[in-house]
């Protein structure tokens, strides 16, 4: 019986090989990215003097925000109530519209002449930021919450529609074929062969979209699409920074509470 001799220091180094060998192309790409980042910083006017002066101005700004102003609760509540209404309505209608659009965009269930237009619609909805869409709807329907609701519905379709279509494309087609073999109608195939496989993921997508709409509904008001951001913008214009702090703390509280509620819903559906 022979025993293996341990490698000597002379031949140990010859047997060592790197798991990820450095490649010339990778190094060149990394250096090009680093050089372009430096070039972009010089073109955008970044400087240490500007940064240091900004720290001083920021400290003065924060000093003027304390203590928070709690005397304008009626104005704040009006903006918060409108923000919540925008978020809930946009999420509800956006999710309901995303269901058929996402289903039509699933290439494993639909022919190409249906799936490609549906996916093109989803891509269009995802192409523009909600604030830009809100500007377009403000021009179309005027100032107010309606423009904010429509803008966030478009954003919801772009997000939920894409993820829902991709989730359907990842399902096991055997279950769908088994239900088809029983002679079930198309709607029964969807209800009993498709939805049970994607329901938990769809609940997760929907709760995330509600949380996203809560954040976005506080932002679209800056262009006149309703919500608490209009109140926040007015407070900035009046240099009412103590009231600004009150609004910001309230927005953060709403987002945190919304996140807790979303986690509770996910636990109910085991997502």
User: How far is Cα 132 from Cα 155, in angstroms, rounded to an integer?
Assistant: 11
Would you report the helix, strand and coil content of the chain in percent, each value rounded to 5? 80, 0, 20
Query: Residue 156: inside a domain, yes or no?
Result: yes
User: How far is Cα 82 from Cα 90, in angstroms, rounded to an integer?
Assistant: 12
pLDDT of residue 209: 86
* Tens-digit pLDDT profile for residues 199-241: 888 888 888 888 888 888 878 878 887 778 778 888 877 888 8
Query: Residue 43: inside a domain, yes or no?
Result: no
The domain that holds 204 is classified in CATH as: 1.10.3720.10
Range of the domain at 220: 75-268
pLDDT of residue 6: 56
Instruction: Quote the crossing angle between the two packed helices 130-141 and 145-169, to the nearest 10°.
Output: 130
Query: Residue 38: inside a domain, yes or no?
Result: no
Query: Residue 135: inside a domain, yes or no?
Result: yes
Query: Residue 6: inside a domain, yes or no?
Result: no
Query: Residue 208: inside a domain, yes or no?
Result: yes
- The total number of structural domains in the chain stands at 1
pLDDT of residue 153: 92
- Chain-centroid distance, C-alpha 81: 22
For the chain, which ranges sit under pLDDT 50?
Answer: 12
Query: Residue 69: inside a domain, yes or no?
Result: no
Query: Residue 32: inside a domain, yes or no?
Result: no
- Chain-centroid distance, C-alpha 43: 30
């Amino acid at each position: 019986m022979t025993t293996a001799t341990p490698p000597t220091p002379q031949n140990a180094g010859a047997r060592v090989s790197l798991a990820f060998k450095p490649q010339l192309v990778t190094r060149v790409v990394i250096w090009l990215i680093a050089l372009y980042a430096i070039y972009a910083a010089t073109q955008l006017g970044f400087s240490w003097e500007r940064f240091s002066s900004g720290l001083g101005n920021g400290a003065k700004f924060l000093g003027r925000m304390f203590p928070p102003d709690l005397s304008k609760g009626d104005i704040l509540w009006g903006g918060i109530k409108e923000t919540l209404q925008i978020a809930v309505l946009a999420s509800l209608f956006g999710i309901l519209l995303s269901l058929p659009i996402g289903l039509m965009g699933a290439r494993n269930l639909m022919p190409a002449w249906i799936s490609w237009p549906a996916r093109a619609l989803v891509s269009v909805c995802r192409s523009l930021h909600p604030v830009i869409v809100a500007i377009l709807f403000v021009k179309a329907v005027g100032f107010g919450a309606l423009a904010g609701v429509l803008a966030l519905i478009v954003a919801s379709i772009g997000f939920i529609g894409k993820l829902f279509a991709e989730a359907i494309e990842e399902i096991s087609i055997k279950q769908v074929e088994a239900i088809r073999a029983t002679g079930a109608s198309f709607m029964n195939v969807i209800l009993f062969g498709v939805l049970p496989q994607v329901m938990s993921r769809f609940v997760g997508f929907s709760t995330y979209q509600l949380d996203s709409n809560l954040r976005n509904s506080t932002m679209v008001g800056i262009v006149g699409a309703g919500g608490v951001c209009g109140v926040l913008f007015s407070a900035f214009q009046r240099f009412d920074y103590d009231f600004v702090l009150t609004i910001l703390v309230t927005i953060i509280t709403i987002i945190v509470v919304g996140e807790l509620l979303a986690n509770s819903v996910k636990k109910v559906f085991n997502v």
